[in-house]
Structure 1
Amino acid sequence: MATRDPKPRRTVKQRIQLVLVVASVLVMVLTGTAWGLYRDITAGITTTNVIAGGDDDDADNILLVGVDSRTDAQGNPLPPALQRLLSSGPDSGVLNSDTIILLHVPKDGGAAVAFSIPRDSYVNIPGYQRDKINAAYPATKALAAQQLVAQGVEDPKQVDAESSEKGRSTLIQTVEDLTGLHVDHYAEINLLGFYNLTEAIGGVDVCLKEPVNDPLSGARFQAGPQTISGASALAFVRQRHGLPEGDMSRIRRQQVFLAAVADKILSSGTLTNPSKLRSLISAAQQALVIDSGWDLLSFAQQASDIAAGNLEFLTIPTTGTESNARGDVVLVNPAQVKTFVDQRIEEQQRAAEEEQKAPPLPPARVDVIASRYVVDVQNGSNLTGMAAAVARRMRELGFVSGTVDNTGPTPTSVVRYTGSDRKAAQAVADQLGGIPVQSEGGVTPGHLAVLLGADFNPATLPAAADDAQARPVTAPSGAAAPITAAGVPCVD
């Protein structure tokens, strides 16, 4: 059932989606191993002291928060023209943390899982009251700011910084109480980061089941696969009116968008393009806030499996909606949420253990050194997500990821090469069911161009590259099926 905001004005305000937080973190994760870039990234990122204590479990839990702030991470106002582009209506001065995801990353490098928490979830907010979870940050920040002013603090930046830490800390505690997981790290992104990131990577591929024309969000899209960026990306992730399940449908949108962002960064050569990489770093520095104790270089080494696409997105279970003094709220049962989170993490741990016991993936031919070659993949079949699945398979075999894209309907699959690269092309073809190879002068030397046609058999890929949505997942009533980076499905 769709929910509605208590104030109509808020229906047209930009609700920044968490996809950029994770995407920015992924950028840092995947570039952190190069010390020069790591230093450049961390030197310009704003930090906040919000993590209290720690635990000694075998995973890191990262709270990812999106805010609709009209300032950058350093508190500088965004240009008026950009403010008009990113949101509608007058600035109320109220910060909204409308997207919240808890990312669970095993310290042994296993697969990660991201739990989305609906912004209208009705919860107990420590030190405040029972309210929507997206009130935890702004409401307690406002109260802290009032107290600081009453105590005689006159510097506006000091008031903003200290009150923001209070708001973030309260949100962290609220999420911990709801999920039962200790939050080890914090990352926050604003509107500017969202806009700049999608522009920097050249757009993101998404797919819609039906055409959309929603004047409230500005979402106007055709049905089917398409590439979006900038303002159109903002409209895609903020739309909730006209969707079957309102905010729940919007959460699905942000999840598939994040999966697509992750796949674009990881598999399309973005990280090997100096210009794009610098743009990504600049976006992170302008719009990202992280906790002061986060060692990003260590996290980069820990989270290597995210780079392999092993990232799953789930929404916590809900039990319906109601209208009360706090407006239209989404009901959640903390005990049910804790059980769901624990069960999913345990399932992932068991799956990781089984994967370690399984025989290794078949290697490429021994006379080919995979790391010498870049593999570009185009999908001309009628199978959604095959280009991404094949690209991941090639990465598993040691090849370097190149461009990953869709193309027009193609009847026959082929691996194209140039010059003396036939052996490498044949090694790739053998891994894809023995499809033909073809010499083509237009292929860049050192690259292998895989074209997937209508005859491509996805059964030739190992189970690790299957669309994770085909894998049965037990979830409580109200929880959506998972979305992963292994092929982005079409959504409402």
Structure 2
Amino acid sequence: MRGIIHGSGEKVVLLTSRGRRIGGRVALGLVSTAVVGVTGFAWTQLSRLDEAIVTADVIAPSAQVPDGPAGEPLKVAQNILLVGIDSRTDTNGNPLPQNVLDALHAGSGDDGGDTTDTMIVVHIPAGGAGATAISIPRDSYVDIAGGFGKHKINSAYSRGKNAAMNTLRAQGLSGPQLEVKANEAGAKLTIQTIEQFTGLSINHYAAVNLAGFSALSEAVGGVEVCLNNPVQDKFSGASFPAGKQLLSGPQALAFVRQRHGLPSDLDRIARQQAFLSSMAKTVLDAGTFTDPTRLSSLIGAIQGSVVLDRGWDVLGFAQQLRGMSSGALKFQTIPVQSLSLPTPSDGDAVKVDPAEVKAFVKSALNATSVAAVGDSTGGIGIKPVAATSSIAAPPSSSGASTPPAMAGCVN
């Protein structure tokens, strides 16, 4: 991984080469369902998404945006929250078979905990020709919405879900139906927490679980990655030589899930980000939408892997983004002050400053000079925040590091 550290004081911002630094697997949901500029056969195939896509009622009415005219560019900027959930159930709430969990090195159905291991806010400006993706480290120590107190941000989903369980059971729900409705509650609390933390209004939501990520990577024929060194990790199942290689299915999941043997969880984010960058290129630039077999597989994988917010006309949205290319995706991460913040009950967490994060997000999106949702005067859909000091700085005593790397490869 190649890193750049800027600024003064103890605050840290890690950016990989070309500004890339995001968490990764759920962004396949965006790449696969939204970033599609196609016509003819491809568009006919994409219409199949309406047949079986799983949706959830998670976006507040105040954040919903009207559908734009079919075939015309995106009229207003939008913010999409992408999450990767450490879930052992499918999108319909059914437990994943043990043989599937074994293939994914995911333990048993009791492992995991329904935390959001990946959180990315993707900002797409009016016109739809580019996008900025901002990742949020899963262990960021923040105020959880709804009065749950201060905890790691990835726990918002499980806290919201668990809090809703008793009420839903009292209403007579059980089995997969209970799981689906509880997941909606988890998603809502996650969205509220992200909005509170970043100052952004979330207009759309997409989620993918472990099995979904594996299926999506297979559907596009694999994704090319490059490693600086060979790796062996029995926990994730990662077993790869150094150099370039094509990964899909359980191998791809192992590549982005590996934690043991990496200097920090930020290196895991870098691993995921490298995969996503390559995935975007594969889907957008490599003829996926002109290959009938590959496109059909992709649509089938999306139907069984991705949960979208209810009311999102993803086909119309995709058509509005037909001018986007992989080179138009800009990847960043929020500023981090420390990677080893002691907490009362959550172990070590990632120290972040909410005011600093809001200022960083506002600056990052202002650089795109786009119009905001509901604002034609050049805003970016961000609530006003107080001015803050420098948002980037040299490494703190937390041990964050950016080892040298071969061009295009990661650790």
Q: TM-score, normalised by structure 1?
A: 0.66
Report the residue type matching 2:410 in the other structure.
Answer: V
Is the CA contact 1:48–1:290 (under 8 Å) kept in the aligned structure 2?
Answer: yes
Q: Distance between the aligned counterparts of 2:207 and 2:107, measured in 1?
A: 23
Q: Distance between the aligned counterparts of 1:108 and 1:323, measured in 2?
A: 44
Say whether 1:252 aligns with 2:171. Answer: no
Say whether 1:17 aligns with 2:25. Answer: yes
Q: Distance between the aligned counterparts of 1:265 and 1:336, measured in 2?
A: 34
1:140 equivalent among 149, 157, 160: 160
Report the residue type matching 1:171 in the other structure.
Answer: T
Greater RCO (Cα-Cα under 8 Å, separation 6 or more): 2
Q: Distance between the aligned counterparts of 1:16 and 1:489, measured in 2?
A: 16
Say whether 1:489 aligns with 2:408. Answer: yes
- Per the alignment, residue 189 of structure 2 pairs with 170
Q: What CA deviation, in whole Å up to 9, does each residue of 1:412-442 have, x standing for no partner?
A: xxxxxxxxxxxxxxxxxxxxxxxxxxxxxxx
How much does 1:24 deviate?
2.5
- Per the alignment, residue 339 of structure 1 pairs with 359
Residues 196 and 231 of structure 1, relative CA distance in 2, 3 Å threshold: same
Report the residue type matching 1:313 in the other structure.
Answer: F
2:251 equivalent among 232, 235, 238: 232
2:393 equivalent among 465, 477, 480: 477
How much does 1:35 deviate?
4.6
How much does 1:116 deviate?
0.7
Q: How does 1:320-339 map to 2 (within 5 A)?
A: 320=338, 321-324=340-343, 325-339=345-359
Residues 118 and 305 of structure 1, relative CA distance in 2, 3 Å threshold: farther
Q: Distance between the aligned counterparts of 2:220 and 2:107, measured in 1?
A: 29
Say whether 1:41 aligns with 2:49. Answer: yes
The DSSP-based 3-state class of the residue aligned with 1:146 is helix
Residues 32 and 284 of structure 1, relative CA distance in 2, 3 Å threshold: farther
- Per the alignment, residue 18 of structure 2 pairs with none
Say whether 1:295 aligns with 2:313. Answer: yes
Report the residue type matching 1:117 in the other structure.
Answer: I
How much does 1:191 deviate?
1.6
Q: Distance between the aligned counterparts of 2:90 and 2:126, measured in 1?
A: 31
Q: How does 1:242-391 map to 2 (within 5 A)?
A: 242-244=261-263, 246-307=264-325, 309-320=327-338, 321-324=340-343, 325-349=345-369
- Per the alignment, residue 121 of structure 2 pairs with 102
How much does 1:81 deviate?
1.2
Q: Distance between the aligned counterparts of 1:50 and 1:478, measured in 2?
A: 38
Report the residue type matching 2:297 in the other structure.
Answer: S
Report the residue type matching 1:17 in the other structure.
Answer: R
Is the CA contact 1:32–1:300 (under 8 Å) kept in the aligned structure 2?
Answer: no
Is the CA contact 1:207–1:224 (under 8 Å) kept in the aligned structure 2?
Answer: yes
How much does 1:97 deviate?
1.5
The DSSP-based 3-state class of the residue aligned with 2:337 is coil
Residues 159 and 36 of structure 1, relative CA distance in 2, 3 Å threshold: same
- Per the alignment, residue 71 of structure 2 pairs with none
1:54 equivalent among 63, 66, 69: 63
Say whether 1:196 aligns with 2:218. Answer: no
Paired-residue identity, %: 45
Q: What CA deviation, in whole Å up to 9, does each residue of 1:226-269 have, x standing for no partner?
A: 2111121111101122223x110111111111110110112222
Is the CA contact 1:122–1:332 (under 8 Å) kept in the aligned structure 2?
Answer: yes
- Per the alignment, residue 403 of structure 2 pairs with none
Residues 264 and 308 of structure 1, relative CA distance in 2, 3 Å threshold: closer
How much does 1:200 deviate?
1.8
Report the residue type matching 2:216 in the other structure.
Answer: L
For structure 2, list consecutive stretches of 5 or more residues without a partner in the other structure.
1-22, 66-74, 371-389, 401-406
Q: Distance between the aligned counterparts of 1:89 and 1:77, measured in 2?
A: 13
The DSSP-based 3-state class of the residue aligned with 2:47 is helix
Is the CA contact 1:213–1:220 (under 8 Å) kept in the aligned structure 2?
Answer: yes
Q: Distance between the aligned counterparts of 1:192 and 1:92, measured in 2?
A: 15
Report the residue type matching 1:130 in the other structure.
Answer: K
Residues 17 and 489 of structure 1, relative CA distance in 2, 3 Å threshold: same
Q: TM-score, normalised by structure 2?
A: 0.78
How much does 1:275 deviate?
0.9
How much does 1:152 deviate?
4.0
Residues 81 and 478 of structure 1, relative CA distance in 2, 3 Å threshold: farther
How much does 1:196 deviate?
1.4
Is the CA contact 1:179–1:341 (under 8 Å) kept in the aligned structure 2?
Answer: yes
Q: Distance between the aligned counterparts of 1:264 and 1:338, measured in 2?
A: 32
